[in-house]
Structure formats: C-alpha cells, structure tokens
Structure 1
Amino acid sequence: MIEGMIIDNKREMNKTLTLSADAFLKMKRLRLLRVFCRLNCCDLTYLSNELRLLDWTGCPLRSLPSSFQPKYIVILLLPYSNIEQLWTENIPLYKLKVLNLEGSKNLIKAPDFTTAPNLEILVLEGCTRLIYVHPSVGVLTRLKLLNLRGCKSLRSFPTKIGMESLEKLILSDCSKLQSFPEIDGKMECLLRLYLDGTSIQQLPSSIGNLSNLLLLNLEDCRNLVSLPGSIGR
C-alpha cells in the first residue's frame, strides 16, 4: 500500500512538473497557485478566475492577462515582478486583502483601489519607478499596513488620508516626496509613521489628530523647517 502511494505521488509530481501553459485552461476551479518559474512563463496567458491566492515572485509579465477577472482573489503576491500596470481597467476586487508588489521596479503607477475596499496590507516597497499613488488609497478604511519604502520616484500622494484602521505607514526614502497629506479624522490606530529620508517641507497641523502615535521618524528630513505645535498635545 505504501509502495503504491509513493509511486502515485511520483507520477503526480512528474505530471505537475511537465504542465504546459495550455494545461491551465482546463483548471477552471483552481484556487491556489504558486508559480516558481521566472523566465519561461511569458506564454502563461490564462489564470483561473476562481483563484483565491496567486503567488508569483519574479513574474515576467508586464500586466496580468486581460481575461483574468479574479473577483474571489484574497492574496495577490507579485514581488520582484516585471509588472508595469496590474490591469488596464478597474475590475472588482472586493475580497482582496493582501497586495504585495515589492521590488517591482517597472511599476509606473499603483492601481485605483476604489474596487478593493477591503484591502488590509499594501506593499509597494522598492518600486523605484512609481510616481503616482491613486487618491483612493487614502480612504481604504480597513488598511492596516501601507509600505512605500524606497519609492524614490514617488511625487504624488493623496492630499487627504482617513485610513481609520491604519497601524503603520512607511514612506522612508521616498526622496522626491515633498508634502504630507492632511489627516481626515482621528486615525487612532496609527502607531508608527516613517517619513525619514523624504523631502517633506512641512507637516499639516492635523497631524496632531494622531493621538496614539508612538513613533514618528523624521531622520534626514533636510527640507523640514519646523514642526506644527499640534504635535505632542
């Protein structure tokens, strides 16, 4: 019995290893997908719309397939990808909770998050060509972590943020970022705010609304002239 199971497992492994891109067309109910190839997967143009998790480090695609309508996706992990733009148009992502595009150096702009209102973790660290973050990120009421560390081309950030669940905001080494948004509401969950290495010139008085802030990192903020009196009240 054990011998038979081992043989069956080997056969299954061999079958998996020899899957062609076309084979995915038959996987209509695929829920979890981890892709480990980087260079020879450009012909993978079909992804199941039933996916709950897609984990593809080093994805060579410039954008996800237009036929991919992942309305059930919960976790989307595409670190160190070749992605320039996730989608060319907005698609419903109401179940999406985690989006990681860390190190995707060709990413030009972050998508419109209007159709992803339940996002909890957004990681864009090291996206060095990213210039623009859509204003919709500022109203993600369930977002807990926003990491934009090392986005050295980032110039545009929402002028107003009201992310009431946000616990950590990282803008470290966004060296071209010159302004910090107005705080709309209390944002009482925000505990750590990293602005070190930015070109921010002044902070709004509304930053005093961050009543539970434990850490404010302003190291190497050379253009910052003064701090508003509302800090520390």
Structure 2
Amino acid sequence: MCNLRLLKIYSSTGMKTESKVYLSEDLRSLSDKLVYLEWDGFPSTSLPVNFTPENLVELVMPNSRLKQLWNEDQNLDLLKNIDLRNCNHLTKIPELLHAENLTTVNLEGCSSIDELPELPRNIRSLNLSKTSVKHVPSSIGYLSHLEMFDLTDCRDLESLPTSICKLKSLQSLYLSGCSNFTTFPEILEPMERLVELELDRTAIQKLHSSIENLVALETLHLEMCEDLEDLPDSIHNISSLDYVSLWRCSKFKPSPQPCLPPEEPVVYCRPTETQSSSGRILEIRRRSFATRLMGFWDDSHSNAFSPRRRFNYFKRVL
C-alpha cells in the first residue's frame, strides 16, 4: 500500500461510534503519498510514527481517539482542510503557521483543546465550538482572510480582544452559549463584511456604542441574554441591520426614546406582564412575511426550533 493516495473509512450512520476497523501490521506505516485521509473513529491515539504528511491535502478524522497528530517539523505545504470534530482526547494541535494553503480547521467538540493553534494567514473557516478555549489572543487579527469564526458553547471564554476588528473578511461570528462571556469588545474600526453576529445565551450586560462600526451587520442574535438591560442608541446607525432578537432577555428595559426607529430592524422582545399574552414573542416591527410568521411562535416550540433557526429557515424558504 506504499502508493496509496486515498484512504476513506467512515461510518455510514454518521453516529459517534467507535470504529470497528483496527490497525493491522500492514497499516503501521501509512503511505507517504496519501493525498486524502479520512478515518471516522480512528482507534489509535496517534498517527503512525513514520507517517509523513507532505502530500496530504485533506485530513478528516472525526470521533477519533487521537491525542496528537505529528511532530512539529512537518512539510504541510499542500494541506487545505483539517476536520477533527469530536476528538475528545486531543489536547493540542501542532503549529500550522507554515501550512500556507490551509483554509479550513474544524475542531468542534474537541473538549480537551484549551488554546488556539497557530494558524496561517489564509485560513478562512475556524470552528472551535464546544472546546475549552479560555482566551483568544490579540494575534487573531492577523487572520485577514478569516470569513467564519465559530466559538459556540465555549463556556470558559469570557471575552474577545479588540483586535477582532482587524478581521476584515469576517462574515459570521458565533458566540452562542458562551455562558461566561461577559464583554463584547469595542469595535475600534469598521468591519465591512460581518453580516451575522450571534451572542445568544451569553452573560453580556451591554453592547458598546462602537457596535455601529459593524457597518454591514444584518442579523444580531441576543436570545436568552438574561443580564442584558438595553441596547446603545448608536445601533440605529447600522443601516443594513434587518433583525435583532431579544427573545427571553428578561432584564431588557428599552430606553424611553426607542433606540431603533420604526422603519428599521425587526425586534423581538420577551413580553412583560402588561403586554399581550397571546404569544411569547413581542414583535415590535414586521417587515416581511417570514418575520410575521415568526411572531406567532411561542415557547412550546422553542426547544425544537429556536428563533435563530426559524429565521434562517424562513429566509431560505422565501
């Protein structure tokens, strides 16, 4: 198998089950000519010691028992995609700074990962959701091509550096479920491509007035931010903003002068006792058929179909 270029072993069910395929003596040395390596539920704690990934373009090994990949001094010039979802035993990713063609890293569910790996400038998609990351270094601003940054359910994360505004290609930032996330950073300069920001189920109390520098923002999710009390008046300066959700923000007390003029975004608030009890979501502004439909959903549907998923669904349908 020394000339093998593609190896794919996967679970047909897509479930997180331990692989029934085990390494034999013949597979102690994987082919150095491998271009594509996919092994769902890889049973060993490391790749073969003598494996050289110099020809590797894609590494896909979700649900594996891996604790480490390879030594730091590897030639990774061709590597474009790393997918190590739900590798719970993986504690560290080797330095990837010189993998200049790498565009996608998916570490979702790698619960033992507690720090960001060093990444090349060309990275476009970085998924660290459900990891134990506590800190995002200020050097994150170096990733000028990053388009999607997912930190969903990183429960040890408390804040982001102000250098986040240097991510000029960023389109989507997901912080949903970061339950210890208390402070969204000041946005010190315009971010002209960020269209979606998810801060639902975080511990934020307020947003800085510099939020207006998110000049392309279209959707802002603040569902179940139980400590959030108000929104800055500057938010109405974001002319592209179409949707703001304040569903179940129990402490939210809008200022006497509405921070959002009536011709601007759809806003959903948790109703107070004095508001109509016909629905659990109060619709302040209705701009489309899709948003009108969302106004009729109540808490009985919340577990199966969250406000964010309803919004995205209706956008696709319409």
What TM-score results when the alignment is normalised by the length of structure 1? 0.82
Partner Cα distance (1:172, 1:107) in 2 = 18
Which structure's CA Rg is the greater one? 2
Give the corresponding residue for 1:56: 61
Give the corresponding residue for 1:83: 90
Shift of 1:156: 4.3
Partner secondary structure for residue 182 of structure 1: coil
Counterpart code for 2:67: R
Give the corresponding residue for 2:70: 65
- 5 Å-filtered alignment, 1:53-132, equals 53-66=58-71, 67-81=73-87, 82-87=89-94, 89=95, 91-113=97-119, 116-127=120-131, 129-132=132-135
> Does the C-alpha gap of structure 1 residues 20 and 156 become closer, same or farther in structure 2, counting only changes over 3 Å?
farther
Partner Cα distance (1:83, 1:180) in 2 = 29
- Cα deviations across residues 166-208 of structure 1 (Å, max 9, x unaligned)? 1111000001111112224321211110001111233222210
Question: Are 1:212 and 2:216 counterparts?
Answer: yes
Misfit runs of 4+, over 4 Å: none
Partner Cα distance (2:149, 2:47) in 1 = 32
> Does the C-alpha gap of structure 1 residues 216 and 64 become closer, same or farther in structure 2, counting only changes over 3 Å?
same
C-alpha contact 2:159 2:185 (8 A) present in aligned 1: no
Partner secondary structure for residue 29 of structure 2: helix
Question: Are 1:197 and 2:204 counterparts?
Answer: no
> Percent of pairs identical after alignment?
31
- 5 Å-filtered alignment, 1:121-200, equals 121-127=125-131, 129-161=132-164, 162-200=166-204
Counterpart code for 2:197: L
Aligned length: 213
Counterpart code for 2:215: S
Gaps of 5+ in 2: 1-6, 9-22, 238-318
C-alpha contact 1:80 1:104 (8 A) present in aligned 2: yes
Give the corresponding residue for 1:232: 236
- Cα deviations across residues 120-160 of structure 1 (Å, max 9, x unaligned)? 11111111x22122322234221111111111111242233
What TM-score results when the alignment is normalised by the length of structure 2? 0.61
Give the corresponding residue for 1:33: 37
Partner secondary structure for residue 138 of structure 1: helix
Give the corresponding residue for 2:292: none
Partner Cα distance (2:156, 2:98) in 1 = 28
Higher relative contact order (CA 8 A, sep 6+): 1
